[in-house]
Structure 1
Amino acid sequence: MVAVFNKELLSWYLITLKLRETVESGLPRSSTGTNKSLDLAQVHEHHLQKQQQHQPSDCLQVPINADDGNCQEANTPPESEWIISIKEKLEQARQDDAAGSWERLSIYRVPHYLREGDIKSYVPQFVSLGPYHHGKKRLRQMDQHKWRSLHRVLKRTNQEIQVYLDSMKELEERARACYEGTITLSSNEFVEMLVLDGCFVLELFQGAAVGFQHLGYARNDPVFAMRGSMHAIHRDMIMLENQLPLFVLDRLLGIQLGEPDQKGKVAKLSIRFFDPLMPTDEPLTKSDMNRLGSSMRHTDTFDPFSDLGGLHCLDVFRRSLLSSGPKPVPRNWLKKRSNAIRVADKRRQQLIHCVSELREAGIKFRKRKTDRFWDIKFKNGILRIPRLLIHDGTKSLFLNLIAFEQCHIDCSNDITSYVIFMDNLINSHEDVAYLHYFGIIEHWLGSDAEVADLFNRLCQEVVFDINDSYLSQLSEDVNRYYNHKWNAWRAALKHRYFNNPWAIVSFFAACILLVLTFAQTLYGVYGYYRPSS
């Protein structure tokens, strides 16, 4: 009874102290509420804090809970949630910054500064591959055809789906490391996506090489037939954000062929499949197609693409574009003030002048007969450029190749260098028309102005090191020729007086008349000073 009475007395005493402090602090009396609504525990905690302020080193004189015997724990405030969240973020940053965490990264999200203004060139519109665009509503209609392709694979190979799932389960961690950022798919969803998308890609590759009817598809199949929709599939499958790791495709094809450790066949098939996107009018020859078909039949035939590696299909396609022959070695053609590593400067991306200005300096343009569209030569005032074919898929192709070169640290900037070089050459539709006249540019677009606009927009936000371009030495030679005054005078003379046959006849007639007049004058002066005897 005494303990209870003391507790009641202590409670009333604390309430009185609380009311007194409230009145003295000038707070409205209504804020304290009635005695019934006042929380005794909160009042007691407030009183303890007051005592700790005046006596920080002493413990409470009247212990309310007998179990709380540790004075230090009662005086220590709980850790702030803000501090806890900061520590969690720092721990996540430590894990992200761990050594080797970026080594396997190869499939990137296109940076926002590149995708602004033309998002459709980077985002698939017909079919999704990989986790970035997986499950999007507008792309779900292709899922039924993916399941059809998987069913066809299992039926044709007489295999169980568990074999594919177990194999992809082994590669799950390695495959996740190839993608940038956090992948929200669960383990089962991610493995299912790898099997479904991978088998769909392989069916397209093999069908393009040996024929879809050979794989068991109907002649009028809505997807697995060479129709108009195949062009949209080509364009989506070459996008950077729409890639699958090449080792995943290699493993899936190896399971189908009974060779789990095989490598290289997918790279060959992908080159054949993406051949319609080549920016040249020189397609694969029939012998090349036969070699690709022979490789599917397990024959030991020489294959020009046997040395191709790659991270994914976009990387393989890029390697095939640049694989034919050696390229010039980049040379630092700008004077450096120091030996420090230079940072790419957006202000120094002008390699050469445009076509119209180069023509005024006497530089001629000719088509170079080669399938290596990037292999440009300059000699004796003649700039020889290989033929470039531009169609409605060229823009998306170049943009994704440039994005990959911008993102992947172990990738050269050869495609970027070529596109920026052509962008410098082309400033107007007159430049395009002149290059088209000599067979350098062939396009399927509406007008020459659209081609000029395409090149002027390809590299708007792209920054690269001009010293690291394989065309740096060639650009230096062209600029040196352009800056020579005699070349400009000679070109102006030819442009003004030798632009048509009648002008040439008039020029030579004027020269003959000038010579005769000079001779007559000379003879008259000579006869005046030295008359004949």
Structure 2
Amino acid sequence: MRESLHTIQRDMIMLGNQIPLFILDRLLELSKPDMKGHVANLALEFFSPMEPTGDPQTKLSSNSLELAPLSDHGRLHCLEVFRLSLLGSSPKPKPREQNWRLKTPQQLIHSVTELREAGIRFRKSEKDGLWDIKFKGGTLWIPRLLIHDGTRSLFLNLMAFEQSHIDCSNDITSYVIFMDNLINSAEDVGYLHKCGIIEHWLGSNAEVADLFNRLCKEVVFDINSSYLSILSEEVNRHYKRRWNAWRASLKHKYFSNPWSIISFIAALVLLARFLISHVVEIV
């Protein structure tokens, strides 16, 4: 029974299977007149098991959804409602301003492994909105992402919706491409899991890496319009500083465990004793 429900949820979230919300609302009114206008909330409740975040942001009421830019002419449907609930109502960072737009697949940011080598740390954000990614003091704060067997289909359909609507923002696409850039290997996934940023129910970390790497193939993306473009520039500037890379390498090689620290201190003590004895002999 549960497996059948999951199959129905995945089918109903597909872009090609969408039915305008006003039709569903009319059908609901015929059977339950007192439920008129509640279709949006019922849809969010039905799709809540597919939420990729820790705390579903399903606080949008049907009234607030009716005011959404896409609600005119009966165009609002379940996939749009679900997308709006993921993005929430809080303001997102603005994309960087450019006088030109180059719509080609581009890399927003380096992988987790590369960023760690430059001394950048990763922490799980206390907030759960997909947009709530911050970079401060050399630390990248990312909200938790829950990955299950329906995540690939969910993101594919959300991205397809954004790609096919010129009047729609690319926020979900920006997030997925950002995560795809971060994740190049099973090791990247493993470290994000260790930080509490990724939780998954797939067979292995390698499957998660493959999921993201496949999601973004053939996606045409305007890097300048991404709400993560400015943050990515800040991270990349930090990454390029030679001092950060040298410090991270030193810490990884010589201070990764207590024994390395003890050995380093012992070497310093021996060097100091040698220098002192040498100076004394000269004097």
Match of 1:516 in 2: 273
Counterpart check, 1:472 vs 2:229: yes
Match for residue 353 of structure 1? 110
Partner residue, 1:314: 79
Aligned to 1:13: none
Counterpart for residue 344 of structure 1? 103
Distance, in Å, in 1 between the alignment partners of 2:50 and 2:214 is 20
- Residue 16 of structure 2 aligns with which residue? 241
Task: Work out whether 1:486 is the aligned partner of 2:251.
Answer: no
| 2:171 counterpart residue number | 414
Given the alignment, which residue of 91, 100, 106 partners 1:326?
A: 91
Please give the alpha-carbon distance, in whole angstroms, between the structure 2 residues aligned to 1:470 and 1:460.
20
Contact 1:267 1:313 in 2 (8 A): yes
2:281 match: secondary structure: helix
Q: What root-mean-square deviation, in Å, do the aligned CA atoms of Structure 1 and Structure 2 show?
A: 1.9
Partners of 1:324 and 1:372 within 8 A in 2: no
Three-state SS of the structure 1 residue aligned to 2:65 is coil
Aligned to 1:272: 45
Distance of 2:89 and 2:143 partners within structure 1: 13
Distance 1:376 1:516 in 2: 49
Q: Distance in 1 between matches of 2:103 and 2:30?
A: 45
Which residue in 2 is equivalent to 1:26? Answer: none
- 2-structure distance, mates of 1:362, 1:227: 45
Please list the CA deviations of residues 454-488 of structure 1 after superposition, one character each: whole Å capped at 9, or x if unmatched: 00000100011100000011101100000000000
Which residue number in structure 1 is paired with residue 183 of structure 2?
426
- The TM-score, its normalising length taken from structure 2, stands at 0.91
Q: State how 1:113-132 maps to structure 2 within 5 Å.
A: none
List per-residue Cα deviations over 1:116-167 (Å, max 9, x = no partner): xxxxxxxxxxxxxxxxxxxxxxxxxxxxxxxxxxxxxxxxxxxxxxxxxxxx
1:259 Cα deviation after fit: 7.0
Deviations for 1:285-310, whole angstroms, at most 9, x for unmatched residues? xxx8xxxxxxxxxxxxxx65341234
How many correspondences in the alignment? 274
Query: Which residue identity does 2:146 align to in structure 1?
Result: L
For residues 262-301 of structure 1, the aligned pairs below 5 Å read 263=37, 265-283=38-56
Q: Residues 317 and 304 of structure 1: is their aligned pair in 2 closer, same or farther, counting only changes over 3 Å?
A: closer
CA distance in 2, matches of 1:231, 1:492: 46
How many Å apart are 1:257 and its aligned residue?
A: 4.1
- What is the deviation of 1:438? 1.3
> Aligned partners of 2:133 and 2:82: how far apart in 1?
20
SS in 1 for 2:64: coil
SS class of match (1:308) = helix
Aligned residues of 1:276 and 1:283 also touching (Cα < 8 A):
no
Whole-angstrom CA distance in 1 between matches of 2:281 and 2:89? 70
What is the CA distance between 1:425 and its match in structure 2?
0.5
List runs of 5+ in structure 1 lacking aligned partners: 1-225, 289-302, 528-533
| Partner Cα distance (1:496, 1:481) in 2 | 20
State the 1:254 CA deviation. 3.4
The one-letter amino acid paired with 1:267 is A
Q: CA deviation at 1:251?
A: 2.7
CA contact 1:367–1:439 (8 Å) conserved in 2: yes
Q: Distance in 2 between matches of 1:344 and 1:463?
A: 6
Aligned equivalents of 1:389, 1:399: Cα separation in 2: 16
Q: Which amino acid aligns with 2:210?
A: D
Classify 1:277/1:377 alpha carbon distance in 2 versus 1 (closer, same or farther; 3 Å): same
CA contact (8 A) 2:87 2:129 kept: yes
Counting only pairs closer than 5 Å after superposition, residues 26-425 of structure 1 correspond to structure 2 as 227-258=2-33, 263=37, 265-283=38-56, 304-305=60-61, 306-309=63-66, 310=71, 311-332=76-97, 339=99, 341-346=100-105, 349-425=106-182
Q: What amino acid is the match of 1:230?
A: L
| 1:324 CA displacement | 4.6
Paired residues of 2:119 and 2:138 also in contact (CA < 8 A) = yes
How far, CA to CA, are the matches of 2:111 and 2:8 in structure 1?
A: 36
Match of 1:128 in 2: none
C-alpha distance in 1, partners of 2:199/2:130?
Answer: 12
Instruction: Find the aligned partners of 1:282 and 1:516 in 2 and give their Cα distance.
Output: 58
Relative contact order (C-alpha < 8 Å, sep 6+): which is higher? 2
**Residue type matched to 2:101 in 1?**
R
Runs of 4+ displaced beyond 6 Å = none
Q: What is the alpha-carbon distance in structure 2 between the residues aligned to residue 505 and residue 392 of structure 1?
A: 46
Q: 1:462 is matched with which residue?
A: 219
Partner AA of 1:345 in structure 2? T
Structure 2, gaps ≥5 residues long: none
CA contact (8 A) 2:56 2:86 kept: no
Identify the residue that residue 54 of structure 1 maps to in structure 2. Answer: none
Q: Does 1:498 align with 2:271?
A: no
Q: Residue 378 of structure 1: CA displacement? A: 0.8
Q: CA 1:253–1:493 in structure 2 vs 1: closer, same or farther (change >3 Å)?
A: same
Q: How does 1:4-19 map to 2 (within 5 A)?
A: none
Structure with the greater alpha carbon radius of gyration: 1
- Cα deviation per residue 1:175-213 (whole Å; 9 max; x = unaligned)? xxxxxxxxxxxxxxxxxxxxxxxxxxxxxxxxxxxxxxx
Shift of 1:377: 1.0
> Is residue 87–residue 130 contact of structure 2 (8 Å, CA) maintained in 1?
no
Write the distance in 2 (CA, Å) between the matches of 1:463 and 1:304.
30
Q: Which string of whole-angstrom CA distances, capped at 9 and with x for unpartnered residues, describes residues 14-68 of structure 1?
A: xxxxxxxxxxxxxxxxxxxxxxxxxxxxxxxxxxxxxxxxxxxxxxxxxxxxxxx
Identity of aligned residues (%): 66
